[in-house]
């Protein structure tokens, strides 16, 4: 993804150069118009007009290219699982190709005979070299000041603006742009682009929107701001919420991800990877069985979600979690916990209550992975999940719920006023 971030930054830098060039052309308009008063210099005026028209067209093309790319990237962020099984490589190559073509639009227009100002200098390369130099200087200063008088090392591991390299800096700035927009502190082009990714993510239950909401909830209100109005309602409704509705019309709340990978066929593309999701309540319920030292336990779940493909089939996840103290031979099992996850497709049927279920005998399995775990390892996994849920809710829930409730109350009052 670093290559993608680099080319996206190059396009942004070139767009900035083209914008500045357009400003220069506008400021030199009086001089250009003065050239139109003489037959000896009228060709200069005509060339200026052609360049101005070409540059305005370039700006429009830049806006269009950035909008197409951010929309494509937002769809990926909101639903990365749709690009599994080799589709990610195709998407990545197309995304890089699109950015490369967008950077060379001025060359294509020149070939068509349209006068445009040439940009695409090494501006970003110079910035990257400068950042690398600053980072190296910072490390040198840190190591020099990281030793006490007795020679023991006391260096700090605090985060810097350059941590994670260029991709890390871009990612943090992208998050900050989304936060600034959703809290009403900024309405810039960059923040609106980040906002479009946030909107797509929150509609599809993606992790980007969760990170943004968490950052706002845990931050200083005076500095970060707060989510208000319809955005607060949307954030409130997305709290512990994801996926389509079940058969009873209740929205599924799948937030805890389960990922199993099978390396028996090899690494890389040969790795079999399956995923499933459970709600925080279901995770706590499973953990309760562990704490109660149950001897036998079984938990089953199947979900169908997403938009159906051309053949009318939607994604399906199946989860089976079992604890059996003894095997079929009656002997005690060293690994009593059994987890099985299957991924496939099925036909999505809508109920009268607005929910969805899998049509009988329509499920087609694509991959399945299972694992056996002993009691202590399974306890470690579940207690970490339980503590994470507890701390996340303590940090995020109060602010999000408060803002959401206030916005809902205002919406109810407005509805009452309209009705009366």
pLDDT at 29: 86
For residue 322, the surrounding DSSP H or E stretch is: strand 313-324
pLDDT at 143: 45
Asked whether the predicted pLDDT for residue 350 surpasses 70, the reply is yes
Report, as an integer, the average pLDDT of 63-80: 75
**Mean pLDDT score of the chain:** 74
Map out the domains of the chain as residue ranges.
Answer: 2-124, 256-384
Asked whether the predicted pLDDT for residue 334 surpasses 50, the reply is yes
Asked whether the predicted pLDDT for residue 279 surpasses 80, the reply is yes
pLDDT at 220: 61
Using DSSP, state whether 342 is helix, strand or coil: strand
Instruction: Report which of residues 132 and 320 the model is more confident about.
Output: 320
pLDDT at 86: 56
Instruction: Report which of residues 191 and 238 the model is more confident about.
Output: 191
pLDDT band at residue 178 using 50, 70 and 90 as cut-offs: confident
C-alpha span between 115 and 118 (Å, rounded): 9
Report, as an integer, the average pLDDT of 364-381: 92
Instruction: Report which of residues 142 and 418 the model is more confident about.
Output: 418
C-beta of residue 128 within 8 angstroms of C-beta of residue 121? no
Q: Encoding tokens for residue 106?
A: 């001025």
Minimum mean pLDDT among 23-37, 104-118, 237-251: which range?
Answer: 237-251
Report, as an integer, the average pLDDT of 360-382: 91
Minimum mean pLDDT among 216-220, 322-326, 354-358: which range?
Answer: 216-220
Report the half-sphere exposure of 195 (CA within 13 A, side-chain side).
15
Report, as an integer, the average pLDDT of 391-401: 66
Q: What is the full DSSP assignment across 35-103?
A: HTTSTTTHHHHHHHHHHHHHHHHHHHHHHHHHHHHHHHHHHHHH-GGGGTTTHHHHHHHHHHHHHHHHH
Percent of the chain with pLDDT over 70: 66
Report, as an integer, the average pLDDT of 50-74: 81
Using DSSP, state whether 330 is helix, strand or coil: coil
pLDDT at 242: 47
pLDDT for 294-312, tens place per residue?
Answer: 899 999 988 887 788 888 8
Asked whether the predicted pLDDT for residue 152 surpasses 50, the reply is no
Asked whether the predicted pLDDT for residue 162 surpasses 50, the reply is no
C-beta of residue 363 within 8 angstroms of C-beta of residue 346? yes
User: Sign of dihedral through CA atoms 398, 400, 405, 407?
Assistant: positive
pLDDT at 343: 93
Measured CA to CA in angstroms, residue 308 lies from 5, 96, 137, 221, 254 at distances of 31, 28, 53, 41, 19
C-alpha span between 317 and 319 (Å, rounded): 7
Asked whether the predicted pLDDT for residue 321 surpasses 90, the reply is yes
C-beta of residue 286 within 8 angstroms of C-beta of residue 338? no
pLDDT at 155: 36
pLDDT band at residue 289 using 50, 70 and 90 as cut-offs: very high
Tell me, letter by letter, the H, E, C secondary structure of 192-218.
HHHHHHHHHHHHCCCHHHHHHHHHHHH
pLDDT at 77: 66
Terminal Cα-to-Cα distance of the chain (whole angstroms): 55
pLDDT for 107-124, tens place per residue?
Answer: 777 677 666 666 555 555
Q: What is the full DSSP assignment across 227-289?
A: --HHHHHHHHHHTT-BS-B-TTSPBPB--EEEEEEE-TT-SGGG-EEEEEEE-HHHHHHHHHH
């Amino acid at each position: 993804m670093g290559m993608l971030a680099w080319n996206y930054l190059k396009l942004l830098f070139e767009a900035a150069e083209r914008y500045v060039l357009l400003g220069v052309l506008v400021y030199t308009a009086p001089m250009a118009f003065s050239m139109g008063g003489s037959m000896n210099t009228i060709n200069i005026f005509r060339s200026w007009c052609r360049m101005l028209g070409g540059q305005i067209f370039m700006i429009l093309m830049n806006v269009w290219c950035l909008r197409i790319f951010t929309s494509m990237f937002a769809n990926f962020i909101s639903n990365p699982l749709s690009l599994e099984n080799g589709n990610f490589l195709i998407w990545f190559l197309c995304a890089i190709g699109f950015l490369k073509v967008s950077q060379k639009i001025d060359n294509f227009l020149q070939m068509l005979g349209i006068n445009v100002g040439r940009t695409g200098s090494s501006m970003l390369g110079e910035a990257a070299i400068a950042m690398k130099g600053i980072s190296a200087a910072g490390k040198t200063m840190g190591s020099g000041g990281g030793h006490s008088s007795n020679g023991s090392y006391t260096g700090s591991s605090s985060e810097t603006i350059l941590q994670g390299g260029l991709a890390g800096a871009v990612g943090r700035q992208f998050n900050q742009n989304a936060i600034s927009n959703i809290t009403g502190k900024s309405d810039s082009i960059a923040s609106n682009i980040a906002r479009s990714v946030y909107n797509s993510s929150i509609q599809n239950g993606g992790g980007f929107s969760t990170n943004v909401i968490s950052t706002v909830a845990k931050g200083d209100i005076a500095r970060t701001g707060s989510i208000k109005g319809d955005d607060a309602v949307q954030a409130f409704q997305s709290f512990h919420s994801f996926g389509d509705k079940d058969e009873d019309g209740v929205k599924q709340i799948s937030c805890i991800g389960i990922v199993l990978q099978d390396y028996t066929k090899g690494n890389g593309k040969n790795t079999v990877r399956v995923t499933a999701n459970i709600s925080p309540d279901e995770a706590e319920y499973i953990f309760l069985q562990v704490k109660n030292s149950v001897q036998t336990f079984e938990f089953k779940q199947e979900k169908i979600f997403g938009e159906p493909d051309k053949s009318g089939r939607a994604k399906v996840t199946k989860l089976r979690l079992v604890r059996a103290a003894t095997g079929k031979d009656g002997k005690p099992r060293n690994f009593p916990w059994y987890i099985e996850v299957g991924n496939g497709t099925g036909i999505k049927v809508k109920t009268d209550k607005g929910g969805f279920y899998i049509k009988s005998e329509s499920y087609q399995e694509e991959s399945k992975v299972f694992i056996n775990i002993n009691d202590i390892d399974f306890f470690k996994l579940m207690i970490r999940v339980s503590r994470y849920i507890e701390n996340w809710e303590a940090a995020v829930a109060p602010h999000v719920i408060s803002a959401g409730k206030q916005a809902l109350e205002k919406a109810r009052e407005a509805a009452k006023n309209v009705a009366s």
